[in-house]
Structure 1
C-alpha cells in the first residue's frame, strides 16, 4: 500500500482502502460467458483520518459512488481490502457486517428514492434504532425528536410522509437517519447535487456543524468542485477507477499537477469576466465514452500533453503526504 495519503505525523487512520478493485463482468452469448469487464474501481489506495473530510471528485462514471458503496458494504470488492479501525471488513459476511453498520453510514444523492414512501418519518427513524437497539423502546420516540431537532426539522413533522417534504427537507431526514446509529464515518454520496443552490449551502453548513458537534468523519463524493472545496480537508481526484491526484484542498486548488485536475478546475465557473478570457482546457467527449489506453495512462486519449510514453506506461501516484499526482509531467 502506498503511503502518500497522509503525513507521517497524522493519527492512525479510521478507514484504509488497500488496492481496492471492483470489476463488473460483461456477459454475452447463450452461455452467458464473461467476455470482458468494466473496471469501475481498479486499484485504489486511500486513507481517511478521524475527524476529517476527504473529498472524492471526478466526472460521472469514474467509480466514485462504487467506492462509497463498497465501504458501507453495499458492494463486495473484487480484490483489495477495506479496513475500518484496523479490522478488515471487506470480506465479512452480511451477518458479521451487522456489527459495523452502526459505525458506517451513507447519505444518498436522491433523498426521495432512499426513503420508503409508505412509512412516516417517525417509522423511518425508529426502525434503525430498534433493529440495532441504540436506545430502549420506551426512549425511541424521544430519540426521534432529538434527531429531527439536530437536523433542523420540527418534531411535529415526524407524523408526515416523505412526499410531504421538499427536497432539502427530505435530505435532512436522510441525514437524521444516518445519524440515528451514531456512526463514526458517513459516506456522503453527492448529497447536494439534486438540490437547489441555496438549499445546497444550507445542507453543507448543516453537515459541517454536525461534524464539529458529533466528531464525525466524512467521505464527501461529488462532481461539483465548489462543494468539494468548501467541505474537504483533503481532495482525491478520480478518473476511470484510479486516483490520479490527491492533496490538501488548499494545495490542490492552488497548484494542480495532473492535466485532468487542471481541466476540471478550468471547467469551474469564474465570476470575473476578465479572467474568463484566459486560455482554458476543454475536455473532448466524457469519461464514460473515452477510449483509455489498455496498458498506459487512462487519460491518454483526452490529455492535451500526452506523449508516446503515456500510451505505453501507466504512471504511478508519486508525491509526499500533502500532494501527489499520477503524471509523468507533473510540475
Structure 2
C-alpha cells in the first residue's frame, strides 16, 4: 500500500482511531499507598490508522510509544480519551468483551523469548489460541499450525521443539506466527526487530511486509530505529514525552522534517552517504524531562536551540494536513 499521495486514506474509513488518549500511572507512597503524583506516560495522543497501511511510531525510550501499543490491545486501560475500532468505542470494554476483539488485533513483542512460554512446545503455543477461540475444528488444528509455520518461513518439525532451541530471529518468527493464529486485521509491532542482529532484522522486516501484502494486515510499527521505520511505514508519527510532535508520510517526513526534535533524531542516526556526513547537525542539550512533571508550554523547549518565550508559555498544537503536520511554532515551511 502506498499512501504517499494519501488517495487511499482519504477514500476509506480508519480501522482504528485514538482520540485524546491519556495514560497516567499513579505514584504511591507510604503504608496506605497514598497517591502523591502521576507519571504522564501518554498525554493526549490523536491519530488514525487506515486499513492496509503501516503507521510508524518513533521516539526516544520512555516517550510512551509502547504504552500506546499496549493500551490499544487492552493490556493497559487508558486514563482518558477514546479508542475507536471500526466505528465501535472499545475504550471501556470489560475483559470478557475484549475477548471478542482478540481475533481482530494482536501484538508482537520486542523480546520473543520472554513472550513465549518456555515450557510449551511451539506446536502447543500456536494451537492454544486456536482451541480457546475455536478458530478451526479440533481435527484441523495440526494442519493449521503447519500452515502458520510455513507462513513465517519455519519448517513443520519446528512444532516439536521448545523456544530455547531457536535463534532470536526464529523465535521472533514464532511470535509473529502466534500473533497470526487468530487472523487479526491489526497487529501492533512493539519494537519487533530491536533485539535482533542487523542481518536478521532485514529478514524479519521483509517477512512483515510480505505478510501484510498476502494477508491484508494493518500495522502500528513501534521502534526507535529510523531505518526500520522508514523501510516499512507509509506514515510516521514522532513522539516526545507523551505527545506526538510531528506526523506525515514517510517520504515527506524524511525529505522535509519540520519539528526540531525530528531533525535532531535524524541527525543522531548513522548516515550512509559520505557526502552528507559533514553537514551541520542539530545537537540536543540536556536530558529528557521527567514525565511526572513535564515542562509547561512546548515540552521540547528545555532542549530546543530554537526555543523562545512563546515556546515556554504556550503549548503548540499539531497543525498541518494529512501529508504533514507539526507541533511547533517555528516549523520550517
Q: Give the TM bin, normalised by the shorter chain.
A: over 0.9
What residue in structure 2 maps to residue 233 of structure 1? Answer: 234
What residue in structure 1 maps to residue 153 of structure 2? Answer: 152
Moved more, 290-299 or 62-71: 290-299
What residue in structure 2 maps to residue 66 of structure 1? Answer: 67
Give, in angstroms, the shift of residue 319 of structure 1.
0.3
Residues 37 and 292 in structure 2, CA contact (< 8 A), matched pair in contact too: no
What residue in structure 2 maps to residue 174 of structure 1? Answer: 175
Residues 109 and 192 in structure 1, CA contact (< 8 A), matched pair in contact too: yes
Alignment of 1:140-289 (within 5 A): 140-287=141-288
Alignment of 1:41-190 (within 5 A): 41-190=42-191
Counterparts of 2:307 and 2:170, CA distance in 1: 46
Residues 242 and 291 in structure 2, CA contact (< 8 A), matched pair in contact too: no
What residue in structure 2 maps to residue 32 of structure 1? Answer: 33
Counterparts of 2:289 and 2:118, CA distance in 1: 33
Q: What SS is found at the alignment partner of 2:212?
A: helix
What residue in structure 1 maps to residue 3 of structure 2? Answer: none
Counterparts of 2:179 and 2:133, CA distance in 1: 13
Moved more, 189-198 or 25-34: 25-34
Residues 258 and 325 in structure 1, CA contact (< 8 A), matched pair in contact too: yes
Residues 7 and 321 in structure 1, CA contact (< 8 A), matched pair in contact too: no
Q: Deviations over 1:65-102 (max 9, x none)?
A: 00000000000000011111011111000001110001
Moved more, 161-170 or 286-295: 286-295
Counterparts of 1:32 and 1:292, CA distance in 2: 20
Give, in angstroms, the shift of residue 208 of structure 1.
0.2
Q: Deviations over 1:189-210 (max 9, x none)?
A: 0000000000000000000000
Give, in angstroms, the shift of residue 35 of structure 1.
1.3
Residues 14 and 49 in structure 1, CA contact (< 8 A), matched pair in contact too: yes
- The answer for unaligned runs of 5 or more in structure 2 is 1-5
Counterparts of 2:260 and 2:122, CA distance in 1: 46
Residues 222 and 228 in structure 1, CA contact (< 8 A), matched pair in contact too: yes
Give, in angstroms, the shift of residue 153 of structure 1.
0.1
Residues 9 and 50 in structure 2, CA contact (< 8 A), matched pair in contact too: no
- The answer for unaligned runs of 5 or more in structure 1 is none
Give, in angstroms, the shift of residue 8 of structure 1.
7.4
Q: What SS is found at the alignment partner of 2:203?
A: helix
Give, in angstroms, the shift of residue 9 of structure 1.
2.5
What residue in structure 1 maps to residue 302 of structure 2? Answer: 301
Give, in angstroms, the shift of residue 129 of structure 1.
0.3
Normalising by structure 2, report the TM-score: 0.95
Counterparts of 2:270 and 2:169, CA distance in 1: 24
Counterparts of 1:142 and 1:7, CA distance in 2: 36
